[in-house]
């Protein structure tokens, strides 16, 4: 049976593209939705207008905008990102944290949820084993402290595996906490140190079906939600230097995953 979920190409697949060009690439390749990367140092009101124009002209959905990452002594650009996400119509905003104090992370997450709530945007808390916000249980603690109707957890299946988690762990939580998931593939063995984990996350992901991660189990555990294909891959970038071709290759793999 064919899975009829909304499929989205994550912004990280094309780190070389400007946000508006990401929309165009997704549209030409046939993706119904895409992610938008917000760089607080370069994003302007003109960026928002151009992204929105291309979304409207193409019919592509902005599934998510990223990232909000609070860190000691750094501006996480949250108010500007939320405003931009609202303007372009993004459904979700990604939040993670470099703060070592999980209580401080929870407080900031609650503030971001409050900023996003009037716009109807859900803020998803993503856990990554390379950050202090490293596990599903920590993300659940952060989200629980927020008490927000627009709070949720983003499960990236690579991060779930590399953090020592398993698909079965999701059953401990209300399924509604997982409004969409990110999908990639990878070898079954975990990299041995933080540097290798980071490199794998940014450059070493595989197309779905080319590795050993339990993708089918995850789709069964979290049914009927959108799928964002977060295949950050140096091999894919070097093999398919044309952005549209790369997006088409990933879409073929994504569709195969949902059959």
Q: Which of 84, 90, 94, 100 is nearest to 48 (CA)?
A: 84
pLDDT number for residue 148 = 84
Q: Could you give the angle at which helices 45-58 and 78-88 cross, rounded to 10 degrees?
A: 30
DSSP string, 166-234: -GGGGGGS-GGG-S-EEE-B--SSPPSSHHHHHHHHHHB-B-TTSS---HHHHHHHSTTS-EEE---BH
User: From CA 242, how far away is CA 237, in angstroms rounded?
Assistant: 8
pLDDT digit string, tens, across residues 138-147: 999 999 999 8
Max distance between CA atoms of the chain, in angstroms, equals 50
pLDDT digit string, tens, across residues 18-70: 999 999 999 999 999 999 999 999 999 999 999 999 999 999 999 999 999 99
| Mean of pLDDT over the chain | 96
Domains and their CATH numbers in the chain = 7-257 (3.20.20.150)
Q: Which of 117, 149, 150, 153 is nearest to 137 (CA)?
A: 153
Q: Tell me: cis bond preceding 67? Omega within 30 of 0 counts.
A: yes
Q: What is the dihedral of CA 220, 222, 227, 233, to 10 degrees?
A: -70
Which residues have C-beta within 8 Å of that of residue 226, sequence separation ≥ 6?
A: 5, 6, 7, 8, 33, 63, 179, 180, 181
Q: Does residue 133 carry a pLDDT above 60? A: yes
User: From CA 190, how far away is CA 162, in angstroms rounded?
Assistant: 6
Contact 215, 157 (CB under 8 A): yes
- pTM over 0.85? The answer is yes
Query: How sure is the predictor about 1, in pLDDT bands with cuts at 50, 70 and 90?
Result: very low
pLDDT number for residue 234 = 97
pLDDT number for residue 128 = 97
pLDDT number for residue 3 = 65
Calculate the CA 123 to chain-centre distance: 11
Q: Does residue 2 carry a pLDDT above 80? A: no
Calculate the CA 60 to chain-centre distance: 17
pLDDT digit string, tens, across residues 72-126: 999 999 999 999 999 999 999 999 999 999 999 999 999 999 999 999 999 999 9
Give how far Cα 79 sits from Cα of 104, 111, 153, Å: 18, 10, 20
């Amino acid at each position: 049976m064919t899975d009829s979920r909304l499929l989205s190409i994550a912004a990280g697949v094309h780190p070389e593209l400007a946000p508006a060009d990401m929309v165009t690439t997704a549209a030409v390749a046939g993706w119904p939705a895409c992610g938008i990367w917000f760089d607080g140092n370069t994003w302007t009101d003109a960026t928002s207008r151009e992204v929105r124009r291309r979304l409207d002209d193409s019919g592509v959905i902005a599934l998510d905008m990223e990232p909000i990452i609070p860190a000691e002594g750094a501006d996480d650009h949250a108010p500007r990102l939320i405003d931009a996400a609202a303007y372009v119509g993004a459904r979700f905003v990604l939040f993670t944290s470099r703060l070592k104090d999980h209580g401080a992370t929870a407080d900031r997450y609650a503030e971001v949820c409050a900023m996003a709530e009037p716009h109807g945007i859900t803020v998803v808390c993503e856990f990554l084993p390379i950050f202090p916000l490293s596990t599903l249980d920590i993300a659940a603690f952060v989200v629980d402290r927020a008490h927000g109707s627009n709070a949720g957890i983003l499960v990236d299946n690579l991060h779930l595996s590399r953090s020592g988690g398993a698909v079965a762990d999701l059953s401990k939580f209300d399924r509604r906490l997982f409004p969409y998931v990110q999908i990639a593939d990878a070898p079954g063995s975990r990299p041995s140190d933080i540097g290798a984990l980071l490199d794998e996350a940014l450059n070493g992901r595989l197309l779905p079906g080319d590795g050993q991660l339990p993708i089918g189990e995850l789709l069964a555990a979290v049914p009927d939600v959108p799928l964002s294909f977060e295949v950050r891959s140096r091999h894919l970038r070097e093999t398919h230097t044309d952005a549209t071709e790369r997006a088409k290759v990933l879409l073929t793999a994504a569709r195969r995953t949902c059959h």
